[in-house]
A and B are shown apart, each in its own frame.
Chain A
Amino acid sequence: MSTKLRALLKSPFVFHLATSPCNNCDIEILDALTPRYDLERFGIQLVGSIRHADVLLVTGVPNHKNAKILKELYDQASKPCLVVAIGTCACGRGMFKNSYNSPGTIDSIIPVNAYIPGCPPKPEAIIMGVVKLIKSIEDTLKKK
């Protein structure tokens, strides 16, 4: 298991899923993947199919329709797969906390490994969040 995770940290393929966000976080994610920030230095690549993905980037507050889709997509991913919640909505529903159309937060549907708050978080914040996630996994690997 640990060697699998170690290899995963060297080449994380990310899959981007929007669960009814306002699209600001999505734009910031795409910004972080542009040549200016050059995430391919760390082997990070955006993939189109969830079967190839190692990291699931989720934005927005899930509603009744796409909460099911979120669960199904996570089940379709080949494990080990990490989940990163990006934006205040994804972290804790923000101002949509009492909305009639929101069945629950993302971490009540699938396990979340890292939270990156912000409305929207800057590309720098997203990169820092991913670096912290990688560091925390490396630390748990060292302890074992």
Chain B
Amino acid sequence: MSTLFSYIFFPGFVFTALLGIIASGIDRKVTARIQWRQGPPLLQPLYDFIKLLGKETLVPAGASRLTFLITPVFGLAAVSIVSTILWGALINPKESFVGDFIVVLYLLAIPSLSIIIGGFASRNRIASLGASREMKFILSYELPFIMVLLIPVIQTGNIRLGDIVTAQMSSGLSVGTVSGFIALLAGILCIQAKLGLVPFDASEAEQEIVAGPFIEYSGTPLAIFKLTKWMMLVTLPLFLVVMYMPSSNPVHIAIRYIIILVLTILIRNTNPRLRIDQVMRFFWTKVAFVSLIAVILALLKL
């Protein structure tokens, strides 16, 4: 019963969804201030969500109805489980299970997979184009992302998130080391691509392929996709906080999370969109090279 409560209410789905709505509101507000505007109210994403729930849900003719409607739910479920595991590792490090690090890595790929499958199921050529770009994105950022996240594992010698957190709290944070700091910077670029923010938003570029995989989605499924996105905006920076700079103090966690969030917002607002070939070259050469150096430094105990 308490497990169910933790997955659905606190610290799982409902808690992370509310935080995600606020994080997305902060994102839009900061973006507006950078563009010298006033910007929407902080709870604007909540209004959008409620409005989308009230809209009619349309399924395009010839689309695979079940796949089209069910894929958003899988993405949402995966993010909820990941957020529960990550909050659990911070709140109660002793309760985490062996190998939850690997579970989190796998589950974090599911939202992207649900976007790909949903895009292909909608039987729209622009959606297929966006979905195939999303697929190339996964291929490009997954390798550096995993290498980057290996560094705290190498440093602490553990594969349990709870042990990684307790080891860092007793013997210094991973971000304080050279390898950890380099890895954190590369990790921020990887989560930027995972979140689908500019400059890595070629898969859902509004101006060229009009929202890509989401083009045929309307009403409730679109609302669920948006909510998944907002929850990823909480979960992925939180994952970096857990891996590189965990703390038992909620205020410290909040400050560290907000620093990563604002960094991603600033990167998003000061860069133009990259083409898909540029994205792949960037991740496979530069970011992968930097993360490989970080892994070597970590093995040398730097």
Contacts and interface: CB of A to CB of B under 8 A. Distances in A.
Given A7-B47, A10-B51, A54-B51, A40 B219 contact: no
Contacts of A51: 58, 215-218, 222
A8 B38 contact: no
Interface string A1-40: 0011001101100000000000000000000000100101
Contact of B44 (A11, A47, A49, A52): A11
B211 A38 contact: no
B127 to A, nearest CB: 10
A40 B56 contact: no
A42 B41 CA distance: 8
B35 interface: yes
A42 B55 CA distance: 19
A79 B55 contact: yes
Given A7-B54, A48-B210, A51-B215, 6 more contacts: A4-B51, A7-B50, A41-B38, A54-B51, A78-B56, A78-B219
B211 A78 contact: no
B210 A41 contact: no
A40 B41 CA distance: 9
Interface residues of A, number: 22
Given A49-B215, A51-B218, A43 B47 contact: yes
A108 B207 CA distance: 31
B38 A49 contact: no
A4 B39 CA distance: 24
Contacts of A48: 206-207, 210-211, 215
B50 to A, nearest CB: 5
A76 interface: yes
A40 B54 contact: no
Interface string A66-79: 00000000001011
